[in-house]
Amino acid sequence: MFRGRAEKKVVEAGYDPARLPPGQYLTEKWPVLHAGSVASYPADLAGWDLRVWGEVETPLTLTWAQLNELPTVEVTQDIHCVTRWSRFDTTFAGVPWSSLRELAGQKPSARFAVAHAEAGFTANVPVEFLEREGAMLATHADGKPLGEEHGWPLRLVIPGKYFWKSAKWLRGIELLDRDQPGFWERYGYHNDADPWQEQRYGF
């Protein structure tokens, strides 16, 4: 039995309707949504860096070249936006958290992670979500470098959460021993952001 028109379209497109969270619709496009303007960098990324700090033994600051020396992974997965669109089979490639975790020496006290992006944007997740299959600091999507509007040169990818948790234009990961609401969470969005539970808003 279909949940409605959205699920019917998923079946007609040849997909398993169980892949579509409640309240979502399938799109082949990749809508562009973000707070603030698109970040701009020089083509060679001179001066760009990524920080890892907080509950770690060795705080890191990596240049673009140093980041690209780390091992990479590629995972195909579905993404779900809180604005109700879902896009199936998006392939991301980038650096898994495990590489940075080892370099920085993540402490046992690190229970939460806050992604820090351009324009003061932040997004928070339990640190365990950084370890999930498909989680990464992505440099590529669908075989190409990220487009500027999708977070070039680096965005976080957090499977199992609405896509606002996958912060664009990533510049740092801060590990904390306590939770700290991010940008959208402070505006009333749900802290947990589970698309299967329709955790869109906190009120």
For residue 195, give the nearest of 42, 109, 79 by alpha carbon: 79
Tens of pLDDT, residue by residue over 40-85, are: 999 999 999 999 999 999 999 999 999 999 999 999 999 999 999 9
CB 7 within 8 A of CB 86: no
The structure's pTM equals 0.93
Please indicate, yes or no, if residue 144 is contained in any of the structural domains: yes
Q: Kindly report, residue by residue over 82-132, the tens digit of the pLDDT.
A: 999 999 999 999 999 999 999 999 999 999 999 999 999 999 999 999 999
Handedness of CA 2, 3, 4, 9 (dihedral sign): negative
Tell me how crowded residue 180 is: count the other CB atoms within 10 A of its CB.
13
Q: How confident is the model at residue 169 (pLDDT cuts 50, 70, 90)?
A: very high
Q: Which has the closest alpha carbon to 27: 90, 74, 75, 73? A: 90
Strands, DSSP E only, in the chain? 25-26, 49-54, 60-63, 73-80, 85-95, 112-117, 122-126, 136-141, 144-145, 155-157, 170-176
The enclosing domain of 170 has a CATH number of 3.90.420.10
Residue 117: inside a domain: yes
Integer-rounded Cα radius of gyration of the chain: 17
Beta carbons of 103 and 92 less than 8 angstroms apart:
no
Is residue 60 classed as helix, strand or coil in its secondary structure?
A: strand
Q: Is residue 5 part of a domain?
A: no
Q: Which residues span the domain enclosing 129?
A: 45-197
Q: Is the pLDDT of residue 143 over 80?
A: yes
Give the angle 156-160-162 at the CA atoms, nearest 5°: 70
Nearest CA among 198, 169, 191 for reference residue 40: 169
Residue 124 domain flag: yes
66: in domain:
yes
> Residue 23 domain-assigned?
no
CA distance 125 to 97: 13
Evaluate whether residue 139 is within a structural domain: yes
The total number of structural domains in the chain stands at: 1
Say if 22 falls within a structural domain.
no
